Amino acid sequence: MAYVTLTEEILHELERLKRETGIGPMKLLARSQGAPTTLNSAVINSWFNGQTASARERDLAFVLEAYAQIVPIIPITCEMRDDLNAEFVRTGCSPKSLLNRLPMPPKALSAALISRWRTGRTVSARKDLSFTLRR
């Protein structure tokens, strides 16, 4: 069984992926299939908190690939929210009418989600849905 040293570079990459996806080890494993039997959230957490200096190569590869499959999230800034609201005022659209104008709206995008972005009740968005937040 091959082991890999958890270098600072590897740990920074793991932290970046965790931060960008908003997904911790437990949730990552819950939504992934085919995890090695030697891998659990406690093992991954030990990587993040520095309790372990190395990892099974197969486990690390699985975690990196699982994170790569998750769409990153972005924070919705006040400026983005202001721009979004200004566009709704300018066009006279509602979130529902905006969705109706899109030729193929993503399944994960709903009028309720757009409304929550506008009001600040939802403070992040999947990066692939954030096209509506930028000009």
What sign for the dihedral angle of Cα 44, 45, 46, 48?
positive
Q: Is the pLDDT of residue 131 over 70?
A: no
Integer Cα distance of 132 and 135 in angstroms: 8
Give the H/E segment covering residue 123. Answer: none
**One domain, residues 62 and 81:** no
Write down the pLDDT at residue 106. Answer: 87
Domain that holds residue 58: 3-68
Q: Is the pLDDT of residue 115 over 50?
A: yes
44 burial type by CB count under 10 A (0-12 exposed, 13-18 middle, 19+ buried): buried
**One domain, residues 77 and 123:** yes
**One domain, residues 8 and 62:** yes
Stated pTM of the model: 0.75
**One domain, residues 106 and 127:** yes
pLDDT (mean) for 13-38:
95
Domain final position from 39, 68, 97:
68
**One domain, residues 41 and 27:** yes
**Poorest-confidence range of 14-18, 66-70, 77-81, 131-135?**
131-135
133, 80 Cβ separation under 8 angstroms = yes
pLDDT (mean) for 122-132:
81
In the chain, the number of structural domains is: 2
**One domain, residues 92 and 129:** yes
**One domain, residues 8 and 58:** yes
50, 16 Cβ separation under 8 angstroms = no
pLDDT (mean) for 4-15:
96
Write down the pLDDT at residue 130. Answer: 65
Task: Give the up-direction half-sphere exposure of residue 59: CA atoms within 13 A in the CB hemisphere.
Answer: 21
**One domain, residues 91 and 110:** yes
